[in-house]
Amino acid sequence: MQLDKTAITISQRSGVDVIDLSLLVVRRYWQSIAFFAFIGILPFAIVDFVLLWPMTQYESLLIASRDFTEVGVYHFRYLCTVTAIILIQAPIALSPVTYFIGQAVFIEQPTARQVISAVWKRCSAIILILGVLRLSLIAFIPAVFLFFDPALKPEVEIPLYLFCLCGLAFCIRGFRPFAAEILLLERCPIRKPKNRHDQLAYGQRSKWLHSSLDLQLFGVHIGITLVEILTALSIALSLVFLIGVLTGNWNWGIWMDLFLFPLTIWLVATWATVIRFLFYMNSRIRTEGWEIELRLKAEAQRLQEVPTW
């Protein structure tokens, strides 16, 4: 691996430039990104589909309810729930994409086996940090409750699911966005090994990387979320248009609810993973002089190989 030979030019960029650059990265690696995203997303998408299916039975929910007599209310609630659950689950589901992009920067093209094996090796840390502490797997709990009792209960859903679960996940991710990169790419252990003093534990590394950029990262997170929402809306509305042209049905139908809308959110979440990785690179360049480190390490390697004098 030649550290200063990178697939993405390592330099400090502004926020909008990073988002623009992510489009070029997606264009270059779209096949691999789509493949690894598919591998990661598939189990989550199937479970979500099964668990949220009862929420799409709008007519029966309407008949059973006395308070809410508009189908639109149930429809809106389903779309919000799907969006929230997918966005909370995205970091863990898209771990293979994170690992792949991290390797692709150094012009390494890992095979599917290598990516899955690398993610599998970090499985326990990923489940603990991303799944439990960052609520990605906890997001299944309200989905299970909604599967058994899909009746609309705003007094439970708004404070508990929306504010507690989604709000907490949003804030954690806003202030400490690069957990997946620290675990998968830097391979930081959860606890500091006793025999290695130079190895940082996950917590220390996360604190070191994030603490100097706290508010800035949160601002960026809000900006990216807005961009994601607008892009998701753009794709979803375009799909409605496409279905209208192909089938003559110009309404937002059940196909949109069950398949195309979740697909849109997963697409946007995959793109957001690429954006997050590029912001991770940018943060390391800004705070740690990462591009200098790569260049100096590469020069040191060259000096050790061939004496220059």
- Residues making contact with another protein (CB under 8 A): 4-9, 11, 13, 16-17, 19-21, 23-28, 227, 231, 233-235, 237-238, 240-242, 250-252, 288-289, 291-293, 295-300, 302-304, 307-309
Query: How distant, in Å, are the alpha carbons of 85, 91, 111, 265, 274 from that of 95?
Result: 16, 6, 15, 16, 11
239/259 Cα distance (integer angstroms): 11
* Minimum distance of another protein from residue 289's CB (angstroms): 5
3-class SS of residue 255:
helix
- Cα–Cα distance measured from residue 267 to residue 251, given in angstroms and rounded to the nearest whole number: 22
194's CB contacts (< 8 A; 6+ apart) are none
- Minimal distance, residue 21 CB to another protein, in Å: 6
Of the two residues 167 and 289, which places its CB atom closer to another protein in the complex?
289
Residues in the chain: 309
CB of 25 or CB of 180, closer to another protein: 25
- The separation between CA 214 and the C-alpha centre of its own chain, rounded to angstroms, equals 19
Q: At closest approach, how far in Å is the CB of 33 from another protein?
A: 13
Dihedrals φ, ψ of 86, to 5°?
-65, -45
Q: Which is nearer to another protein, 16 or 46 (CB)?
A: 16
Structure tokens at 160: 């508990």
17/214 with CB nearer another protein: 17
Rg (CA), the chain: 22
User: How is 229-256 classified by DSSP, letter by letter?
Assistant: HHHHHHHHHHHHHHHHHHHS--S--HHI
The CB-of-231 to another protein minimum distance in angstroms stands at 7
The minimum distance between CB 252 and another protein, in angstroms, equals: 7
- Distance between CA 75 and CA 131 in Å, rounded? 28
Kindly tell me which of 56 and 231 has the beta carbon lying closer to another protein.
Answer: 231
Nearer to another protein, 165 or 224 (CB): 224
Given the complex with another protein, which of 54 and 253 has the nearer CB atom?
253
Least distance between another protein and beta carbon 295 (Å)? 4
Could you tell me the smallest distance in angstroms from the CB atom of residue 207 to another protein?
Answer: 15
Distances 12 to 105, 264, 276, 283, 286 between C-alpha atoms, Å? 15, 30, 15, 8, 7
Taking the mean position of all CA atoms in its chain, how far away is CA 44?
Answer: 13
| Four-point Cα dihedral 205, 301, 12, 17, nearest 10 | -100
